Amino acid sequence: QLKKEIIRLIEHEASFGTAGRITLKLNAIQDPQVIDALYAASAAGTKVNMVVRGICCLRAGVPGLSENITVRSVLGRYLEHSRIYRFDHGLDGREPLHLIGSADLMIRNLSGRVETLVRLTHPKHRAWLDTVLGFLHDDANVHFRLQPDDSWQLVGQHHGAGDAQRQLHEWVVATQSR
């Protein structure tokens, strides 16, 4: 049931074409049906931005297949397990949909386990997730970017490049101590 709903959300966002945007933070993506839905969204012009910590069976940036999909991996001192799903046009086509939960996009998670995603509706909580995603997708921070040939390119290994995990940690400590 969860896989069907995720695919439905991807297809709904893809219906907005180039105005659509899907942002995902996961540990792994391996389910072929979900990957095919993301490829179809890319073909429709929808931007798909992903942070994947581990297994990634999706091919990113391949002309004619996934040119609108970017995948990065942010590795650092802190072991992260959060899963965040963001669909810019949400359920009503007007307001972004933010989901958090336990599910990675793997066959074993979507077909053989009990997994859940929870919708966040409070504006403060949605803004918090957007800030987290902003740190992770900031090109000024060190990350690995998945290339069309399935290799990973290190980006930002220069003086002044930021550490997204450190920045996120410092931000959480500062904002939660108020």
Q: Which residue has the higher pLDDT, 82 or 18?
A: 18
The average confidence (pLDDT) of the chain is: 90
Are 146 and 133 spatial neighbours (Cβ–Cβ below 8 Å)?
Answer: no
Domains of the chain: 2-176 (3.30.870.10)
pTM: 0.89
Average pLDDT over residues 123-130: 93
Residue 165's contacts (CB-CB under 8 Å, 6 or more residues apart) are 74, 76, 77, 78, 80
The pLDDT score that the predictor gives to residue 19 is 97
Q: pLDDT tier at 20 (50, 70, 90 boundaries)?
A: very high
Chain centroid offset of residue 61 CA: 15
- Cα(71)–Cα(52) distance, rounded to whole angstroms? 7
Q: Which pLDDT belongs to residue 78?
A: 64
**β pairing state of 69-73 and 47-52:** parallel
3 state DSSP class of 101? strand
Rounded Cα distance, 110 and 35, in Å? 13
For residues 161 and 169, what is the distance between their CA atoms, to the nearest angstrom? 16
**68-82 per-position pLDDT tens digit:** 999 999 876 666 678
Tell me the three state secondary structure of residue 10: helix
pLDDT at 178: 61
Average pLDDT over residues 27-33: 96
Tens digit of pLDDT for each residue in 79-120?
Answer: 667 899 999 999 888 899 999 999 899 999 898 888 899 999
Residue 145 pLDDT class (50, 70, 90 cuts): very high
Quick one: pLDDT at residue 139? 78
pLDDT band at 171 (very low <50, low <70, confident <90, very high): confident
